[in-house]
Amino acid sequence: MGMTITEKILAAHAGVESVRPGDLINCRVDIALANDITAPIAIRNFRKINAKKVFDRDKVVLVMDHFAPAKDIASANQIKFVAEFAEEQEITHFYDGAEMGVEHTILPEKGIVGPGDLVIGADSHTCTYGALGAFAAGVGSTDLAAAMVTGEAWYKVPETILFELKGKPAKWICGKDIILYIIGMIGVDGALYKSMEYSGDMISHLSIDDRFTISNMAVEAGAKNGIFHADDITKEYVEGRFQREPVYYESDADAEYFQRIVINGDELEPQVAFPHLPSNTRGISEVGEVRVNQVVVGSCTNARYSDIELVANLIKGKKVAKKVRMIVIPSSPAIYSRAMKNGLLEILIDAGAIISPPTCGPCLGGHMGILADGEKALTTTNRNFVGRMGSTKSEIYLAGPAVAAATAVTGKISSPEEIV
């Protein structure tokens, strides 16, 4: 019987011929990741058992991005604590200050993760790297601590739901619309404990950035991972970038799936997730009149170069609506720099947007755009839970970059059609 791509990567990293859903296996990890919020607990666990050295100083990655640049004294102390550990352990990939970007943007960008990898990360959006054909899943700090010491992690092999993405995506449709549509369809626990795998001819129309967005939000459907097969687009992205040798795994034709779901590209319209769950989605034509106080283009979900470029192109020569704060947060220094050199930041600033340094910032209610009581925000981030971006009396609407640009200009949640 055949195996899925997820089963093959897990089997290879467990050193066994084959695995089936439900098997409990111990896997070698290629990369173990933590951030300024999750690393401190992992480091304390590391100390508690008197561990002396991380399993491989090149494979433990520490990114200071959530409350960085430090938002207050306590978060500065957390960052300092992790920095001291990184120095003691001579961690190769420690990122802070000018090198700092949102973790799930910079790991692929720097070629630290790539096809065929098994990545464990103390951050729920670690699943982002599935876009490259890697198995990547979020865990908590204790699991991460164990992996930092042993280079291993235990997994229960998940069942897989196969999403067949068919046809060409309709106009304005980007990765965010596809994943919001899927989460709206199956619910926030629709893929609980399961793997989400993508196939179909639509994928050749999806940029690598679109795929990052789709894999990124697998956790919003409760999934363990969200994975694509590598194709020419993946290979072009990875070549000359990935620091190790990629391994390209493919699902067998007779692999077994828990469920198959077909998504037709021409049926899609831009999606908006209403408060307070990512599954509470509506097509843009059904949104009605929702005025907003803030628009955020940021986070590990939607703040890569193509996202910033799309927003800048749509907003060029227009103005952000009065009383709307538009905050754009390029998710890595490289993206920031490229957007600056190519004039995108100037377009955005001229339109009345605020440009923030790379950080997770307001996505999790950290800093750089916290909402007041009663305020509403349209954001390209990943969660619209109560209080996620600030006040528990605020409201968060999730959408892709095109809707974000249109909303910033009109001041109410809008289709990009309204501003072109």
Partner 1 sequence: MMKGKAHIFGDDIDTDAIIPARYLITSDPDELAKHVMEDADPDFPSKMQRGDLIVAQKNFGCGSSREHAPIAIKGAGISCVIARSFARIFYRNAFNMGLPIFESDEAADKVSAGDEIEVDMDSGVIKNLTKNEEYRAAPIPPFMQELIRSGGLMESVRKKIGS
Asked if 386 interacts with partner 1 (CB under 8 A), we say: yes
CB closer to partner 1, 139 vs 312: 139
Residue carrying the six token digits 């630290």: 112
Asked if 122 interacts with partner 1 (CB under 8 A), we say: yes
Considering only 74-82, 85-93, 178-186, 210-218, which stretch makes contact with partner 1 by CB under 8 A?
74-82
Apex CA 368: angle with CA 363 and CA 373, to 5°?
Answer: 75
Cα separation values, 160 from 58, 163, 261, 285, 387, Å: 31, 10, 11, 32, 32
**Residue 317: phi, psi to the nearest 5?**
80, 0
Among 264, 291, 352, 385, binds partner 1 (CB under 8 A): 385
Asked if 80 interacts with partner 1 (CB under 8 A), we say: no
Asked if 375 interacts with partner 1 (CB under 8 A), we say: no
CB closer to partner 1, 59 vs 383: 383
Alpha helices by DSSP H, listed for 126-280, are 141-150, 175-186, 208-216, 232-238
**Residue 293: phi, psi to the nearest 5?**
-100, -20
Instruction: Mark 130-169 with x for binding to partner 1 (rule: CB under 8 A) and - for no binding.
Output: --------xxxxxx-xx--xx---x---------------
Asked if 59 interacts with partner 1 (CB under 8 A), we say: no
CB 384 within 8 A of CB 396: yes
Site size for partner 1 (CB under 8 A) = 51
Of residues 260 through 279, those in contact with partner 1 by CB under 8 A are 277
* Packing angle of the helix pair 208-216, 305-315 (nearest 10 deg): 110
CB closer to partner 1, 189 vs 239: 189
Among 89, 124, 195, 301, binds partner 1 (CB under 8 A): 124
Which of 249, 198, 252, 191 lies closest to 228 in space, CA to CA?
Answer: 198
Instruction: Mark 172-191 with x for binding to partner 1 (rule: CB under 8 A) and - for no binding.
Output: ----------------xx--
CB closer to partner 1, 2 vs 387: 387
Smallest gap from residue 238 Cβ to partner 1 (A):
26
CB closer to partner 1, 72 vs 266: 72
Strands laid side by side in the 195-199 sheet: 225-227, 195-199, 160-166, 259-264
Which of 385, 352, 358, 349 lies closest to 124 in space, CA to CA?
Answer: 385
Smallest gap from residue 221 Cβ to partner 1 (A):
10
CB closer to partner 1, 20 vs 323: 20
The SS3 call for residue 331 is coil
And the tokens for 266? 């021409």
Asked if 104 interacts with partner 1 (CB under 8 A), we say: no
In this structure, what DSSP letter does residue 343 have? T
Cα separation values, 49 from 42, 272, 398, Å: 11, 46, 42
The binding site for partner 1 (CB under 8 A) comprises 24, 37-38, 40-41, 44-45, 48-52, 66-67, 72, 74-75, 78, 121-124, 126, 138-143, 145-146, 149-150, 154, 188-189, 192-193, 219, 222, 224, 277, 364-366, 383, 385-388, 392
